[in-house]
Chains A and B, each alone.
Chain A
Amino acid sequence: MIELINITKTYNNTITAIKDISLKINDGDIFGIIGLSGAGKSTLVRCINLLEKPTSGEIIVDEQKILNINNKELLRMRKNIGTIFQNFNLLEQRTVFKNVAFPLELNGVDKNTIKEEVARLLKLVDLEDKANSYPSELSGGQKQRVAIARALANSPKYLICDEATSALDPKTTDSILKLLLEINKKFGVTIILISHDMSVIYSICNKVAVLDEAHIVEEGDVEQIFKNPQSDIAKRFIEFKRLEVK
């Protein structure tokens, strides 16, 4: 379980990116966080995957307070929280195989085990035939599959998807979401899915928090918020209308 308690992040004492955010993400959840650009989603992600320290508040991962742990512990914690990104962020000079092997190399895993593990992960994301390709030779969907395999190589308990499908077309988005759902159901990986697209959230999330101007304005079961949104911003997310020019 990941618990955020009154998380605030301020830059240069002036810009408040997120303010007083409290969230509880239970094991096995696919937890959606939705918000417009600039709402504070990226800052929130960087706090949850421990790349950035909140200005105030507390983060508790599996009953351990993590804001004051030492560097070694912090690195171990990060390995337990995988992240995939909108821009995939693959190592461009490494093959698909070597990209997935990267976290294992960092952990000092021996070569034979790496071979087996990478083969297993590439099979999971259905890219066995691309092991020797370079990222520049792959499509967006394939790149994201490599990123997913790489993130899973550490066997994390949590997986953060930071706008992971925002650069993909609808069909590819569906296949990636299906893969994420499969990872959640088969391996029990808790997923935190950040998006600005309600249809993405609705496809696979069970819970959702709506972020607006650094605050959480609404939170609950996806079905419930979809049926009966309270906040204006949530209403806007599920409303479709044709634009008109007068």
Chain B
Amino acid sequence: MAEILFSSLGETLLMTLISTFLAYVIGLPIGILLNITSKKGLIPNRPVNLIVGGIVNILRSIPCLLLIVILIPLSNLVLGKGNWSGNWSSMIIPLTFAAFGFVSRVVEQSLAEVDSGVVEAARSLGATNRQIVFKVLLPEARSSLITGLAVTTVSIIGYTAFAGNIAAGGLIAQSFNFGYYNDDSTSMWICLLFVILIVQVIQEGCLLIAKKIDKRRKI
């Protein structure tokens, strides 16, 4: 039991953390692009905003379960054909795709919260658009970005449930197996307890950091 539990815990953490990281590698730049090309952004560009926003919306409408099927060719390409099935790593690509659209919107929203007056002040000081993104928008939105990270990570943990469909492991799939196939509700609950703990640690940890680094007036 303990062995299964810890290997599942490891699988869930690896799936979640790697996918979250990759989702931000792709989603953060897209979120920035969506923000700066929006109507009130630094370089308003309606066509770009609509097309990129549309792609993000389409991606977000495809359920994670179907992304697993749709992305089989990509997984074959990246991980090597036949090498990845039944392994936690098979979930990385679908999870990343399921999350980066979400990340883009979360980032876009966080950046939109930055006071437009501050951006205006930076422009009046002769800042380039690049400088405004990296020295004003991202640093000023840092607290909101961290809260967004918590929400994203917790969503991805939820998506790891689909690992069960392709025997990729993880706590949630294992918990399902215990409860559904083995009629072992004690083990099921123990697995779930670990999921709950991970979610608590991530959510509260991020909130704590977000609060600590936020130097605006505390309300």
Contact between A89 and B118 (Cβ–Cβ < 8 Å)? Answer: yes
CA distance A102 to B125 in the complex (A): 9
Interface size on B, residues (CB 8 A): 25
Tell which of B120, B127, B216 touches A92, judged by Cβ atoms closer than 8 Å.
B216
Contact between A82 and B124 (Cβ–Cβ < 8 Å)? Answer: yes
CA distance A81 to B124 in the complex (A): 8
- B117 interface hit (Cβ, 8 Å): yes
Contact between B140 and A92 (Cβ–Cβ < 8 Å)? Answer: yes
CA distance A147 to B127 in the complex (A): 16
- B142 interface hit (Cβ, 8 Å): yes
CA distance A103 to B216 in the complex (A): 21
CA distance A155 to B189 in the complex (A): 66
Q: Smallest distance from the beta carbon of A113 to chain B beta carbons, Å?
A: 17
CA distance A75 to B215 in the complex (A): 29
Select from chain B the residue with minimum beta-carbon distance to A75: B126
Stretch binding the partner chain, chosen from B12-20, B53-61, B128-136:
B128-136
CA distance A154 to B136 in the complex (A): 17
Q: B208-219 vs A: 1/0 string, CB under 8 Å?
A: 000001111110
Contact between B126 and A94 (Cβ–Cβ < 8 Å)? Answer: no
Contact between B125 and A49 (Cβ–Cβ < 8 Å)? Answer: no
Q: B85-116 vs A: 1/0 string, CB under 8 Å?
A: 00000000000000000000000000000010
Knowing A91-B136, A93-B214, say if A49 contacts B142 (CB, 8 Å). Answer: no
Q: Smallest distance from the beta carbon of A93 to chain B beta carbons, Å?
A: 5
- B121 interface hit (Cβ, 8 Å): yes
Q: Which of B124, B136, B217 has the most CB of A within 10 A?
A: B124
- B46 interface hit (Cβ, 8 Å): no
Select from chain A the residue with minimum beta-carbon distance to B123: A51
Contact between B139 and A93 (Cβ–Cβ < 8 Å)? Answer: yes
Knowing A91-B140, A93-B142, say if A136 contacts B124 (CB, 8 Å). Answer: no
Contact between A150 and B125 (Cβ–Cβ < 8 Å)? Answer: yes
Which residues does chain A contribute within 8 Å of B215, judged by CB atoms? 92-94, 134-136
Which residues does chain B contribute within 8 Å of A75, judged by CB atoms? 126-128
Which residues does chain B contribute within 8 Å of A92, judged by CB atoms? 115, 118, 140, 215-216
Which residues does chain A contribute within 8 Å of B217, judged by CB atoms? 136
Select from chain B the residue with minimum beta-carbon distance to A77: B126
Contact between B120 and A103 (Cβ–Cβ < 8 Å)? Answer: no
Which residues does chain A contribute within 8 Å of B213, judged by CB atoms? 93
Which residues does chain B contribute within 8 Å of A79, judged by CB atoms? 125-126
Select from chain A the residue with minimum beta-carbon distance to B114: A92
Knowing A82-B124, A134-B215, say if A102 contacts B135 (CB, 8 Å). Answer: yes
CA distance A81 to B121 in the complex (A): 12
- A22 interface hit (Cβ, 8 Å): no
Q: A51-88 vs B: 1/0 string, CB under 8 Å?
A: 10000000000000000000000011011011101010
- A44 interface hit (Cβ, 8 Å): no
Contact between B124 and A51 (Cβ–Cβ < 8 Å)? Answer: yes
Contact between A136 and B126 (Cβ–Cβ < 8 Å)? Answer: no
Knowing A75-B128, A89-B117, A89-B121, say if A106 contacts B214 (CB, 8 Å). Answer: no
Contact between B121 and A83 (Cβ–Cβ < 8 Å)? Answer: yes
19 additional contacts (CB under 8 A) given A78-B126, A90-B118, A150-B125:
A51-B123, A76-B126, A78-B124, A83-B124, A85-B117, A85-B121, A87-B117, A89-B115, A93-B142, A93-B215, A93-B216, A102-B122, A103-B125, A106-B127, A106-B128, A135-B215, A136-B217, A136-B218, A147-B121
Q: Which residues of B contact A (CB under 8 A)?
A: 115, 117-118, 120-128, 131, 135-136, 139-140, 142-143, 213-218
5 closest pairs, A vs B, by CB?
A: A89-B121, A79-B126, A136-B217, A89-B117, A134-B215
Q: Can you report 16 A-B residue pairs in the complex whose CB atoms are below 8 A from each other?
A: A51-B120, A51-B123, A75-B128, A78-B124, A78-B126, A85-B117, A92-B115, A93-B140, A93-B214, A102-B125, A103-B125, A105-B135, A106-B127, A106-B131, A134-B215, A135-B215
